[in-house]
């Protein structure tokens, strides 16, 4: 029996009604402690219970080896305090951050809300983090003790105090501090919780950021851009063009949405207001279909030549398979993991192996973009 889903989650969500951000802080503290003792009995038990190794799930992409396609999305380990633990929880890669050059407290709480009726979360955290220098110091110290066994990405955001016209330099300053410590990097221009940030998805603004980063990127670390689900097709096509121009490793699709369409939640308990009256981005199940549509569009426009990391509304192997067959080489989870619990990654991986067998495939790589290979699908 899944103790988390049937006992722990109902207790925390419905009986204790613990604050979402407080719960997250306690969880990340526990993982940080475990990260400091990677050879402990607890970690060995976690590996045995939560990890699933199978060569059919492995991929080599942009020079990195991914033991499986399920990664932890940015936002969970904002400061990189648990970088060494994520492989023990079954993940094939993990993305730290979002980190900004200047330390910042983020938006005032409450700023993270569960929407259980929608299997969703609403957040307006505002890139709360201790800054790029603190992350660099921590990761340098950690690397002296243990090198993570999975690829570690670093998600870069713009500091709130930095004017939009100086955004490119702000991203560059963070990248300079961290460029030797991440296996890949993500330019986050799509969070709805930093004023004006999404305007950086405009081709001219984004071009300035990517130009500076790639000039600095002498080690040719893979660089991604993370986009919003709320962009129209023309804007996404512009970003695809920039990805080709600046030789990006790929695109992450997608961040949270500002759409409130179809939500079942009428009132958020902590504030007494409706989700429509609360600022922030929605993640989880309401995002699933739109993020998959964006993945399909990118795959179709690029003929599968630009790798995609798919994120948004993944709770099951079927959700993961849908995104992979739509064109995502890798996927990331966050909200689904909160709802489904720590066994979710292993369950997804086991389910993917079943789906590979059902479709007569020998590796997960063969499933990427499968729906295009099997039909004349058009968006």
Binding-site residue positions: 74-78, 98, 123-127, 155, 188, 193, 226, 254-256, 284, 313, 334-335
Count CA within 13 A, CB hemisphere, residue 283. 30
The tokens for 345 are: 């990654």
Q: Which residues contact 272 (CB under 8 A, 6 or more apart)?
A: none
Q: Which residues are annotated as a binding site for FMN?
A: 74-78, 98, 155, 188, 226, 254, 284, 313, 334-335
Distance CA 86, CA 35 (A): 9
Evaluate whether 300 touches 338 at the Cβ level (below 8 Å): no
Distance CA 177, CA 137 (A): 9
Distance CA 269, CA 272 (A): 5
Active-site residue (options: 32, 35, 190, 191): 191
Strand partners of residue 113: 122
Evaluate whether 366 touches 358 at the Cβ level (below 8 Å): no
The tokens for 255 are: 């961040």
Distance CA 91, CA 72 (A): 7
Q: What share of the chain is helix, strand, coil (3-state, %, to 5)?
A: 45, 15, 40
Q: Is 259 one of the catalytic residues?
A: no
DSSP labels for 21-46?
HHHHHHHHHHHHHHHH-TTSHHHHHH
Q: Is 231 helix (H, G, I), strand (E, B) or coil?
A: coil
Q: Which residues are annotated as a binding site for substrate?
A: 78, 123-127, 188, 193, 255-256
Q: Is 184 helix (H, G, I), strand (E, B) or coil?
A: strand
The tokens for 161 are: 């105090």
Nearest residue to 206 via CA among 191, 187, 219, 193: 187
Strand partners of residue 72: 94, 333
Q: Which residues are marked as active site? A: 191
């Amino acid at each position: 029996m899944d103790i988390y889903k049937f006992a722990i989650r109902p207790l925390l969500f419905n009986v204790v009604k613990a604050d979402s951000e407080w719960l997250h802080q306690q969880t990340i503290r526990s993982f940080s402690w475990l990260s400091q003792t990677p050879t402990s009995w607890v970690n060995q038990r976690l590996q045995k219970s939560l990890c699933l190794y199978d060569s059919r799930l492995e991929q080599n992409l942009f020079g990195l080896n991914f033991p499986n396609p399920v990664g932890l999305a940015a936002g969970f380990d904002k400061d990189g305090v648990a970088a060494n633990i994520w492989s023990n929880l079954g993940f094939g890669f993990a993305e730290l951050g979002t980190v900004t050059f200047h330390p910042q407290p983020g938006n005032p709480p409450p700023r993270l809300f569960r929407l259980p009726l929608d299997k969703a979360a609403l957040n307006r955290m505002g890139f709360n983090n201790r800054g790029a220098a603190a992350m660099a110091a921590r990761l340098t110290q950690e690397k002296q003790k243990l090198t993570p066994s999975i690829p570690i990405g670093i998600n870069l955001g713009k500091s709130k105090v930095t004017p939009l016209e100086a955004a490119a330099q702000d991203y560059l300053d963070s990248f300079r501090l961290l460029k030797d410590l991440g296996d890949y990097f993500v330019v986050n221009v799509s969070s709805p919780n930093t004023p004006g940030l999404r305007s950086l998805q405009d081709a001219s603004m984004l071009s300035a950021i990517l130009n500076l980063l790639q000039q600095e990127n002498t080690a040719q670390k893979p660089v991604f851009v993370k986009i919003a689900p709320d962009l129209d097709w023309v804007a996404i096509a512009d970003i695809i063009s920039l990805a080709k121009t600046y030789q990006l490793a790929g695109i992450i699709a997608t961040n949270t949405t500002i759409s409130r369409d179809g939500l079942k939640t009428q009132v958020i308990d902590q504030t007494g207001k409706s989700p429509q009256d609360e600022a922030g981005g929605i993640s989880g199940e309401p995002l699933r279909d739109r993020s998959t549509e964006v993945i399909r569009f990118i795959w179709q426009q690029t003929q599968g030549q630009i790798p995609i990391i798919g994120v948004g509304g993944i709770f099951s192997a079927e959700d993961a398979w849908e995104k992979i067959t739509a064109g995502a080489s890798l996927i990331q989870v966050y909200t689904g993991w909160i709802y489904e619990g720590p066994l979710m990654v292993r369950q997804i991986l086991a389910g993917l192996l079943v789906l590979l067998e059902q479709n007569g495939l020998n590796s997960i790589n063969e499933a990427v973009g499968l729906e295009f290979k099997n039909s004349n699908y058009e968006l």
